[in-house]
Amino acid sequence: MKKFVPALSIVLFPYAVAFVLYGIFSGFLMENIFQNNIYFCLFILLIIWLVALICAVSTCAVSLMRKWDFVELCRVNMLIKTISIPAYLFTFIFGTVCMLTIFTFAISVILMVLDAMAIVLSGLIGISAVIRSCDNKAISARETFFYGILQFVFCADVITSIIVFRKSKKKVKVNV
């Protein structure tokens, strides 16, 4: 499981977004940590996202080279997606509240972009888990295409990651 430590950065990004949101509207954090500079907050988020992207691409590449067990990869994919749910809920509720007035509408648009950036990170791991499951005959090619697309759709990615993990685990039990 040590080899999946880079996947932690993928989980870190949605929580970093939630922390920055909290920090922006908390006077103490905004003043003492972010020096009242919103651009500094966005810069920190961009750095975290770039590190997470590098980790996601490297994890995807190594897993597609078949260096890791496909069931472990499916488990990590499922964990990444389920652990991120509270951060996504916080961001979604905050973005919905910001859409109530015209003055905070831009914050909602920025949050949509940040959520899309987060789904790209988890989707890369998800697509590699789906492809590896197909390679090991746990799912069909048709399911691979369908589940691969759903790895980049909010809410559906969590459900499909659980389905792919269960099918992969079942495949291993049948072969044992």
Q: Is the pLDDT of residue 176 over 70?
A: no
For residues 149-156, average pLDDT: 92
- Where are the domains positioned within the chain? 2-175
Global confidence as pTM: 0.87
pLDDT in tens, 101-115: 888 888 899 999 999
Q: How far apart are CA 111 and CA 114, in angstroms?
A: 5
Could you read off the pLDDT of 124-139 as tens digits, one per residue? 999 999 999 999 899 9
Q: What is the pLDDT of residues 27-61, one digit of tens each?
A: 777 788 778 888 888 899 999 999 999 999 998 88
